[in-house]
Structure 1
Amino acid sequence: MRLAGKTILITAAGQGMGRAAAIACAKEGAKVIAADINKTTLAELANEFPEIQTHVLDVRDCKAVDALADELPPLDGLFNCAGVVHNGTILDVTEDDWAFGFDLNVSSMVRMTRAFLPKMLERAKTTGTCSILNMSSMASSIKGFTNRTIYGATKAAVLGLTKAVAADFVGQGVRCNALCPGTVDTPSLRGRIDSAADPVQAEKDFIARQPIGRLATVDDMSPLIVYLLSDESSYVTGQGFLVDGGVTI
């Protein structure tokens, strides 16, 4: 049990990669706290995996985040998974979309980390290491993609935030890394495919940009998530980890 004795909080845990991460961490012995704004998907997760503790949380709500941090015990791991994908070039960007994208994709991580870090620093004095994992993307400062202006800018910011946190607390036992997935077959992706003018072609186009020849699954991401939240990665911090099927070769 690679995460036995650890308490790990995961945001956006109601579906997609967040849900898969919650299940994978629970199976490795962690006490998992799954947070999401969606009550329905959280209830479904709790019904299937009653050992997972659930909390309805809007990561854009500073007061709610701070209240949850006060309520919960010190964390050994925090996975900031919540995010949104906007489509369009810079000519399509509205002020509201830009503000919302940065609020959910970046500022929510600032709120969560700021709220939970003090207890994690205390926890690390006993355990030697705690881990923060942020969701970034291959679509960031790593590589540019068409029609991903807001998304790419926010995910590049996540990499900068990750390195800053890692640099500030590397000597105090708290590590911070980022996961940078390729195109993952999630409900979010399916929504974007279904909304395309030609969904069949849209799916083919998404698959075609992966040299490995298929979309990623959430299970392709889970092993690295577990690794980065476990003590196995105790010497790893400030890094962005690509799992992209060869897109950035």
Structure 2
Amino acid sequence: MTDPTSTPGAGSAVGHDDEQGRVSAQNPTEQAPVPGPAATRSVVVTGSGKGIGRAIAARLTADGWTVVGLERSAGSGTVEEGLCAAVVLADSRDRESHREAARVARALAPLAGWVNNAGITRTTPLHALGDPARAEEIERTARDVVEINGLGYLWGAAAAVEAFTDQVSGGSIVNVGSIHGRSSFVDHAAYELTKGGIDALARSVAVTYGRYGIRANTVAPGGVRTPHLDAQIANAVDPEAEERGLAEGPPLGRIAESAEIAAVVAFLLSDESSYVSGQSIAADGAWTASFGTLPHDAGLDARYGIDR
């Protein structure tokens, strides 16, 4: 489940003429048309102000990328703390916001990466639409979820593709999705509609633009330690039970750290993943790989000192 105030993406690079771009995309013996080391490339990260997006910005900056953030509100401190080279303050629902972020990034270095990460998590019980007292609120919530999680990612991917093709370069787009794109929980219909769509968006971009050296993938986290998740736990009827449920759901037996998701994003943006495209990769501690509550081997638990 992504931080509801965050979003990410991927970009491209220059230095190849039109013929080189075509040859590189079609001939596996040629190097993909993406610029040199990360230090010579820029990347846009949406929702870079907090949660997973902030961790992604920090990791990519540490890896040598020139990071431009797209943030909804001022005061995140990402520029002051050196996590972003620049920040565009705008609403991710606005297509032009993404194009402006791309322009800012390209002014600093060729765009080679884009991380779509800004999103929100809200419940939308469909049966409540039949209740006149709740219908308007639920409909408004559903529209917000679809516009931010759906259109926001679409506009981000479009801005990245526009920049890559203008540069006549390849690039990597990474969507931060969710295990809700492949598994469901009660009353999350609109959210899961968008998360499944995010996986489909990566496939569509990968298939349509792969011949030009443009890759697209999705990272699908489960529970991730963010300020949003901490608030969700604190506001639960039984906070201890809420945290225990999130920790014991995945077989790895704990909630992920934001830096662990950022590491997967960094890999998918890097040249190390140059043949990975069109995929949705779960970073969920094997949560979606399991049947649910699992029996434990008492002997192994004792050997490892596990008492839960």
Same fold, TM exceeding 0.5? Answer: yes
Which residue of the partner structure matches residue 61 of structure 1?
94
The one-letter amino acid paired with 1:46 is: V
Q: Distance in 2 between matches of 1:20 and 1:231?
A: 20
| Cα RMSD for the two superposed structures | 1.9
CA distance in 1 between partners of 2:126 and 2:271 (Å): 41
Q: Which residues of 2 match residues 7-156 of structure 1 at below 5 A?
A: 7-41=42-76, 44-49=77-82, 52-73=85-106, 74-92=110-128, 94-125=138-169, 129-140=170-181, 142-156=182-196
Contact 1:2 1:28 in 2 (8 A): no
The answer to whether the 8 A contact 1:2-1:230 is kept is no
Please say if residues 121 and 174 of structure 1, whose CA atoms lie closer than 8 Å, have aligned partners that are also in contact: no
* More displaced 10-residue stretch of structure 1: 78-87 or 189-198: 189-198
Q: What TM-score comes out, normalization by structure 2 length? A: 0.74
Q: Do the aligned partners of 2:67 and 2:83 also contact (CA within 8 Å) in 1?
A: no
Pairwise CA distance, 1:70: 4.1
Are residues 1:246 and 2:286 paired?
Answer: yes
* Structure 1 residue 12, shift from structure 2 partner: 0.3
Match of 2:267 among 222, 227, 234: 227
Paired residues, number: 243
Among all aligned residue pairs of Structure 1 and Structure 2, give the percentage whose two residues are the same amino acid: 28
Residue identity matched to 1:98 = A
Greater Rg over alpha carbons, structure? 2
Q: 1:80 to 1:104 in 2, by over 3 A?
A: same
Query: Partners of 1:116 and 1:213 in 2: how far apart?
Result: 37
Give the gaps of 5 or more residues in structure 2. Answer: 1-35, 130-137, 290-308
Shift of 1:71: 4.5
Q: Secondary structure at the match of 1:39?
A: coil
Letter of the aligned partner of 1:37 in structure 2? R
| Deviations 1:143-195 (CA, angstroms, capped at 9, x unpaired) | 22233222212100111111111110010111110010111011121222222
Deviation of 1:62 (Å)? 2.6
Conserved 8 A contact 1:106-1:158: yes
**Which runs of 5 or more structure 1 residues have no equivalent in the other structure?**
none
Partner of 2:303: none
- Deviation per CA, 1:39-88: give whole Å up to 9, x if none: 111xx222221663222121112333334444441420000000011135
Deviation at 1:134, TM superposition (A): 0.8
How far apart in 1 are the matches of 2:282 and 2:228?
A: 19
* Greater relative contact order (CA < 8 Å, ≥ 6 in sequence): 2
| TM-score (norm. length: structure 1) | 0.90
